[in-house]
Structure 1
């Protein structure tokens, strides 16, 4: 181990991490790895829980209240990813535990994915690819006409860093942009909608780009989806919890929505079975930030946060609640 952690306690890796990051944590920081659920995990926490000063985790795993409580010496949660809704930030604040994430470095790739999903579902690209591969073109002729993307009315739900990057991409395609956030964003020319339902009713495509967590759970309700309507499309690159998934499935299977592009789901990696058979739905496995370049930058920033905390007890990119 080349970096001393004596002052802050041992480092614990929680959940599946990028292999090179896991390797660095092991070789450079002598990090422990939390076992999965069960007796082995209980024995581990009994033996080592009092020694852990830093957890390095991801947005998919996080540090829930139960785990945080089992780590009485914990001082920092260093998160690989922009999302941190799986970590109990309220309890962390109460206990004086600092939490970081990796903002900005994945903004462009996530915004690219939102654009790609929109192009795919409106133009039916994945469905057309399946049509060709199945050998249907020679016998059945052209596929049905699709929906033009350029000029479509785009609604962005959540105009943070990623939401703005999404809006910029669509604006370049001549698309009128409107948005809803908790409050109006100063300095932007996009039209502001007072509620998610009002936004949905005014657009052709609703792109969900909010943060996850309790504050946004079910924000895209049945009411919002019905306001989007039979000619409207939903694109979600945020969190599955933001959308009423049961209502979404119902409307997609019964003609209440024109289609959807979904990178996230309520119970990942499980996807609702009815969606698998729909050609007007594009499904991707939570890959929005999944490029070599972005994941490398996320790893670098994760390690920068860890190094900074070990050196002087502060993080490079603390989450907003820590500001």
Structure 2
């Protein structure tokens, strides 16, 4: 996706750039809705704050249309990110782009963040908002048709497929719930899963009530097929070894997400999904280190939820810093 934010990051004054010889109150890793809103709240609290990021906007950039963010109707993911960053820019929050944080270390009451180029930045507290990435099918055609029929968020992109035939790949709660939601607006919904359902029986029972839903269990998607846009998928019945084609205009991959936890997996407690465990104040098991957004065990991976969690993390970090 070609997208130039063009918000004059390169023309920041030296005083607005991130300085390696300075002890910051707070450093934020990640610039999705959680990280950006954390920066906004931290700056308004008077904290010396900076953002370290590789992809401005995070996964929001991959969202075709955002219909469920309060106060903003029908914006694209790009438009929403543009508004987020423009807002943060008004507060002159310094940002380092295109450099990965490779290591986090806490020495007494000070954190040291080392970038890939060896530069070290120091702070009293850290918010990790590195998000997650969708778990992919890993089949032929998937990459080719991303954004052209292949999507990873039924809540986000489902309305674009109103009145059309769609496929849900997956068999857990998120997949079944996505199928239920889409059955209300799509012409037909076909659920394809390589084994048996792993979802709760109560949601499976609800899915079975939908008259426009077809289910193929023990069925493996082998290829996403299309002609400029998706036209369907090739599958194989794992029991009979029969191969066949399922026509559809949209394929929603709902097989979970992988939290980007590499930086903190040896520093803080994780759950069995690899998500960072946080409490109501977004505190992790390491004092002074906070987490917000999709990297955490907070349910409902939504833009507005991530933004609110970023605000909470910043306010909690402010309280922590005030008591040092």
Q: TM-score range by the shorter chain?
A: 0.3 to 0.5
> What is the TM-score when the length of structure 1 is the normalising length?
0.33
Is the helix fraction higher in 1 or 2? Answer: 1
> What is the TM-score when the length of structure 2 is the normalising length?
0.33
